[in-house]
């Protein structure tokens, strides 16, 4: 029962496709509720209700609340990581341009697409311990996407940091905090925020004035 594997919409049979579609629906609803209420105020009844299902039906797809939430985080995490990886591996442009692109992808993901994603990185104390382990790999991949570009920048002399890890952590902390303070009124606001925030954060890596 591989419900926790990231879902592949291309199942062979009709039945599997139906099931996968349903799993996707459930993951989407779960992501929504998580985003609105947070983990502890997310209960299975609410998720089920949004899907016009009963709580018990969710257990046909996921064996527990924790597995459901984990699957949800892994699913969204994978989506984000894929975008980041694709962006990171594009070696055109300066390190600054590439890092800016990464920051924009990340901000777009956690602010607009999947507001709850930030939680994945913030790792609140009162989430079940299991999540930390289950999403370790995701966080590692995520980190690597950024480190790849940053190390390229350092190697080429375009970036200068006192301590790489510290700088990267500060970058992540600052990015993941954005959903807390940013509220868009118009669509244009997102773009402006991405621009300004990326410019600000780039300074963590660009050499300072003497």
Partner DNA sequence: AATGAATGAGCGTTCATTCAT
Partner DNA sequence: TATGAATGAACGCTCATTCAT
- Residues near a copy of itself, by CB under 8 A: 35-42, 116, 119, 121-127, 161-163, 166-167, 169-178, 180-181, 193, 196-197, 199-201, 203-204, 206-210
Residue 28 beta carbon to a copy of itself: minimum distance, rounded to whole angstroms: 18
The distance of closest approach from Cβ of residue 86 to a copy of itself in the complex, given in angstroms and rounded to an integer, is: 25
What is the SS3 assignment for 25?
helix
Rounded (5°) CA angle 76-79-83: 145
d(CA 168, CA 166): 5
State the SS3 of 73-142: HHHHHHHHHHHHHHHHHCCCCCHHHHHHHHHHHHHHHHHHHCCCHHHHHHCCCCCCHHHHHHCHHHHHHH
Q: 147 contacts which partner out of DNA, a copy of itself, none, CB within 5 to 8 A by kind? A: none
Closer residue to a copy of itself in complex, CB, 93/207: 207
Q: Which is nearer to DNA, 60 or 136 (CB)?
A: 60
Q: How far is the CB of 7 from DNA (least distance, A)?
A: 12
Token pair of 96, please? 């600054």
Distance between CA atoms of 205 and 186, rounded to whole angstroms? 30
* Residues near DNA, by CB under 7 A: 15, 18-19, 22, 41-45, 48, 52-57, 59-60, 63-66
CB of 79 to DNA, least distance (A): 23
The residues near 95 (Cβ < 8 Å, ≥ 6 apart) are: 149, 150, 152, 153, 156, 158, 159, 205
Identify which of residues 42 and 135 has a Cβ nearer to DNA in the complex: 42
**Residue placing its CB nearer to DNA in the complex, 1 or 180:** 1
Shortest CB 33 distance to DNA, Å? 10
């Amino acid at each position: 029962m591989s419900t926790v594997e990231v879902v592949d919409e291309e199942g062979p049979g009709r039945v599997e496709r139906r099931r996968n579609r349903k799993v996707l629906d459930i993951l989407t609803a779960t992501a929504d509720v998580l985003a609105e209420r947070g983990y502890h105020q997310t209960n299975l009844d609410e998720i089920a209700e949004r899907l016009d299902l009963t709580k018990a039906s969710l257990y046909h797809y996921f064996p527990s609340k924790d597995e459901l939430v984990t699957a949800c985080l892994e699913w969204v995490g994978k989506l984000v990581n894929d975008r980041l990886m694709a962006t990171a591996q594009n070696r055109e442009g300066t390190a600054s341009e590439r890092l800016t692109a990464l920051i924009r992808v990340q901000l777009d993901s956690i602010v607009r697409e999947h507001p709850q994603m930030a939680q994945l990185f913030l790792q609140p104390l009162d989430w079940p311990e299991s999540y930390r382990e289950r999403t370790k790999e995701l966080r590692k991949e995520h980190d690597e996407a950024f480190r790849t570009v940053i190390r390229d920048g350092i190697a080429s002399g375009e970036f200068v940091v006192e301590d790489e890890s510290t700088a990267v952590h500060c970058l992540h902390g600052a990015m993941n905090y954005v959903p807390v303070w940013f509220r868009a009124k118009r669509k244009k606001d997102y773009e402006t925020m991405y621009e300004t925030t990326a410019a600000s954060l780039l300074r963590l890596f660009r050499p300072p004035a003497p």
